[in-house]
Structure 1
Amino acid sequence: MKDVVLITNYWHFESEKASSRYLTLANEIVEEGINLEVITSTFYHATKSQRKFNMEFLNSFRYKISLIDESGYDKNISFKRIFSHKRFARNVMSYLNTRKKPDLIYCVIPSLDVAYKVTKYANENNIKVILDIQDLWPESFKMIINIPILSDAIFYPMKRLADKAYSSADHIVAVSQTFVDRAIEVSRKNQFGHSVFLGTELFKFDSIAKKVSNTNMSNSEIRLAYIGTLSYSYDIPSVINALYLLKNRKEGSTVKFIVMGEGPLRKEFEKQAFIKGINCEFKGQLEYSEMVKLLCECDIAINPIVERSAASIVNKVGDYAAAGLPVINTQNSQEYIDYLNEYHAGINCKNGDAEDIARAILKLSNDKLLRREMGVNNRKFAEEKFDRKRTYKTIVNLIKNT
C-alpha cells in the first residue's frame, strides 16, 4: 500500500471550518486505498490559538493525524509569524527523521520554511514530493510592505526559499494557473504544472441552497453580496463610494450591500458606510450554512480586490459561482478576468474606480435578464472548474501515479 504524507500548517478540522481543501483531499486520497498521514500544526491560524484535541478525537479519522508543535503568533504580518513557521519546520523535520520514509510527500505552501526543508529532505532520500501552492510568498507580503528596492531586499531570503522549493519539487500543483506559472519559471523538474482551484464541495453547497427560496424578500431591492475577510486586500471603500454615487443620483433600483465576513477593518468600513448613508448590512462571520443561504438570496456578487494584491482565483469567487450569481469584479488577476469573459459570467471593472463599479451595479440591477444569463453561466463555471468531486481527481491521480 502506497504511503503518503500530507504536510500543511493550515489544516482545518470540520469543526473549525466546514469547507476545507485539504480535508476534502485527505478523504479522496484514502478512498483510493492509499495509506495517509496528515502532519499539521498545534496552532490554528484562524483563531490564533493552540488546539486542544485529545487522542480519541485524532484517532477517529481514517488516516493518521500528527499535530506538531508550533509556537504561534498574534498578527499575520509579523516577525513572530516567521519565527513560528521556522520552529514548525524544524519540528516537522525532527518528526520525519523518526518516521519510516514515505513513498511520497504532498507539501503545502505556505509555509516556505517547511516546503524548503521537506523538498531538500525528499531529494536526499529519493522520496517523491509534490508542492501545492495555496498562496504566493513573498509576493503577498510585498503587497503590504511595498517600498521600492527596499522591499525586494527585505524579502529576498523568502524569495530564495520559494525558488529553491519550487525547483526541487517533482510536481507542482496550485490553486490557480497564475501560481503554477510562477513556480514553473524556476523549476528544474517541471515544464507543466496542475492548476486546481480551491473549489467547493458542490453537493454540500447545493444541499444547503435547496432550502432557500429563490424569491427576493423585496422585489424592488437588489442585494449586492460580498463574502470574505475585511482587511487590507479588499477594496470595500470603492464599493461604498459606488453605492453612494448611485444613491445621490437616485439611479436604478434600491441596492442593499450585504457584507459577510470579519476582519481588522470591519469598524472602519462600517463607519465609511454610515457616513455615506448607504443601505448596508454587516453580518459578521457566519456559519457556512448561514453564509450559503444568505448568498443564495442575493442578486449580484462583488469581488473587490486592491490593485497590488498577489491573489488569483480566491475562495469567494467559487462560492459566487456555486450560487449562480453574476459577478462585478475589480481584481487585476488576468486569469480571473479571462474566465469571467469566457463564461460571460460578470462584468470586469477598472480597479479602484467607483464610477465604473457604479455603472456595473446599475447595469445589472436594471436588467433582470442579464443577471439571470450571467448567473446561469457562472453556475456552469462552478460545475466545470470549482466542483471538488470533479477537479480533485487531478490531484489524486497525480498522487497515485507519482
Structure 2
Amino acid sequence: MNVLFLTLSNMENIYDRGIYSDLVRELAKRGINIHVVFPRERREMLPTELVTIDNITLLKVKTGNITKTDFIEKGISTLTIESQYLRAVKKYFSDIHFDLIMYSTPPITFERVVNYFKKKHQTKTYLMLKDIFPQNAVDIGLIKNGGVIWKYFRKKEKKLYEISDMIGCMTKGNVQYILNHNPNIDEQKLEIFPNSIEPIDSKTTKSTNYELKDKYQIPHRANLFIYGGNLGKPQGPDFLLKVIENFYKVDNSFLLIVGSGTEYEKIKHFIETTHPKNVGLVQFLPKIEYDQLLKIADVGLIFLDRRFTIPNFPSRLTSYLEYSIPILAATDKHTDLKDILNQSKSGLWCESEDIDSFITLARKLANNEMLRKEMGENGRNYLEEHYDVRKTANTIIKHLK
C-alpha cells in the first residue's frame, strides 16, 4: 500500500514527536509505504530534496516562507505552494500508484495536487480538517467577509471539500459547522478524526527539576502555569496581555509563556515595559526541552480569540493531557473544547474577555493540589481513550481496505 501525505508541517526529523510525525510512523509500522511532502522554507536556503528512511519517503519542497513571517509574505507563499508541490510530486512520484492521498488544512490550496492523483490513479482522498479557512481569518479581521480575497479562498475551500472522498474533523462541533455552512456536502463523508499522538509512558510524566526552574527564574515552590505554542492573532494577544498584567493576583504561582509568532514582539515589549510579577517569556525551545518543562508544570493554558465563530480545537491540548496537566482555557464560546474539558473533567474554562473569571479559576487551581492531581489524571485517561494515534491510524487503514 502506498500513501501520500501533503502537509505544511516541518517533518525534517520524522522521529520528532507530534500529531503528524506520530501518525506517519504508526502507519509505517503497519507496513504502509508512506510518502510525505512538506516545505523547506526560503529562509533555510536549501534545495528540494528526496530522502528515504525505512519505508517513509520524505520529499522536502523548496517554498517561500510560510511560518514566522508577515501576513503578506505568508499569503503569497500559500498561493504559490500548490504549484511548487505539484511540480515536485510529478517529478519524483510520477511512477508511483498511490492508494490514498492525505492532506491537512491549512492550507486549502492543495486542490490541484489532489486532483492530479485522483484523476490519474483514481486515488482515494482524505482531508484532515485542522483549520476552517477563510472564515477563521474573517473572524479576527484579517480578511473582509465577501471581499475578493474571501471569494477566492472560499471557492478553493468548497472545491477541496468536493474532491475529498472523506473529511476527518477534529470534533463533533467541526462536523456540525461544516454541514451547516456547506449544505451540499454528503454527511456520510464526514467523520471524527481528532488530533492524536503516541503517548509517552505515564509513569515518567512528572518530575521535580529545580535546575530547570532556576534556569527560567521560576520560584521552587511556585505553581507553574505554562502556555506553549503559537503567539499570533488567533490566540487573542490582547487578552493574554491582561492575564500577564493581572497574574500577580494568583498567589504562589508563576506564568511561563513559551512560543513564537507575529505577536511575540508585542508581548515581549509589554513585559519589558510593565515588569509584571511572576511572569516569564521564552521565544523558542527545542521540543525535548519544552517537554522537560511540561514535566514540572502544574497547569496548562490555552488561549483563543473571543471573536471566533468556528469551533477551533488547539493542538497543544494533547501535550497537556499527555503529561497529566490540568487545563485552564480562555477561548471563544463556539469551540467545543469547553465541552470536552467538562466531559473529561480535565480542566476549567472561561470566555476570553472575562479576566476576572480567569483569575478566579487560576486561583482555584493554584490553591487546590488535589483538584489539579485529579484533573490531570482524568485528562491522561481521556487522552489514552480518545487521542491515541493507534486509533486514528486504524481510521486511515479502514479506508485503504
Provide TM-score, normalisation by structure 2.
Answer: 0.83
RMSD, aligned CA: 3.2
User: Which residue is 1:19 aligned to?
Assistant: 17
User: Which residue is 1:59 aligned to?
Assistant: 52
Does 2:17 correspond to 1:29? no
Does 2:71 correspond to 1:77? yes
Alpha-carbon deviations, 1:101-150, whole Å to 9, x = none? 42322233333222354146515753321122232221233244356645
Q: Distance in 2 between matches of 1:316 and 1:325?
A: 12
| One-letter identity of the residue aligned with 1:270 | K
| One-letter identity of the residue aligned with 1:396 | I
Deviation at 1:359, TM superposition (A): 0.9
Alignment of 1:84-163 (within 5 A): 84-92=80-88, 94-95=90-91, 98-119=94-115, 121-123=117-119, 125-146=121-142, 149-151=145-147, 153-163=148-158
Deviation at 1:360, TM superposition (A): 0.9
| One-letter identity of the residue aligned with 2:397 | N
SS at match of 1:113: coil
User: Which residue is 2:330 aligned to?
Assistant: 330
Q: Distance in 2 between matches of 1:171 and 1:147?
A: 28
Say which is worse superposed, 306-315 or 117-126, in terms of deviation.
117-126
- Please tell me whether the aligned partners of residues 322 and 382 of structure 1 are also in contact (alpha carbons under 8 angstroms): yes
| One-letter identity of the residue aligned with 2:252 | T
User: Which residue is 2:163 aligned to?
Assistant: 168
Q: Distance in 1 between matches of 2:288 and 2:196?
A: 16
SS at match of 2:318: helix
| One-letter identity of the residue aligned with 1:348 | W
Distance 1:108 1:388, change over 3 A: same
Q: Distance in 1 between matches of 2:59 and 2:314?
A: 28
Distance 1:244 1:179, change over 3 A: same
User: Which residue is 1:222 aligned to?
Assistant: 223
- Please tell me whether the aligned partners of residues 8 and 108 of structure 1 are also in contact (alpha carbons under 8 angstroms): yes
User: Which residue is 1:316 aligned to?
Assistant: 316
Q: Distance in 1 between matches of 2:276 and 2:106?
A: 40
- Aligned pair count reads 387
Distance 1:100 1:137, change over 3 A: same
- Please tell me whether the aligned partners of residues 107 and 115 of structure 1 are also in contact (alpha carbons under 8 angstroms): no
Say which is worse superposed, 336-345 or 227-236, in terms of deviation.
227-236
Distance 1:283 1:190, change over 3 A: same
Alignment of 1:356-371 (within 5 A): 356-371=357-372
Deviation at 1:388, TM superposition (A): 1.8
User: Which residue is 1:203 aligned to?
Assistant: 200
| One-letter identity of the residue aligned with 1:222 | N
SS at match of 1:13: coil
Deviation at 1:240, TM superposition (A): 4.5
Q: Distance in 2 between matches of 1:208 and 1:143?
A: 40
Q: Distance in 2 between matches of 1:298 and 1:365?
A: 12
Q: Distance in 2 between matches of 1:36 and 1:169?
A: 19
Q: Distance in 2 between matches of 1:24 and 1:350?
A: 32
Deviation at 1:183, TM superposition (A): 4.4
Distance 1:252 1:220, change over 3 A: farther
Identical amino acids, percent of aligned pairs: 16
Q: Distance in 2 between matches of 1:20 and 1:139?
A: 26
Q: Distance in 2 between matches of 1:398 and 1:141?
A: 34
1:273 to 271, 274, 292: 271
| One-letter identity of the residue aligned with 1:103 | D
Q: Distance in 2 between matches of 1:69 and 1:202?
A: 32
Distance 1:82 1:244, change over 3 A: closer
Alpha-carbon deviations, 1:84-115, whole Å to 9, x = none? 22432542564488334423222333332223
Alpha-carbon deviations, 1:279-324, whole Å to 9, x = none? 1111331121211121221222211211134562212111111121
Provide TM-score, normalisation by structure 1.
Answer: 0.83
| One-letter identity of the residue aligned with 1:40 | F
Distance 1:35 1:219, change over 3 A: closer
Distance 1:136 1:51, change over 3 A: farther
1:194 to 191, 194, 211: 191
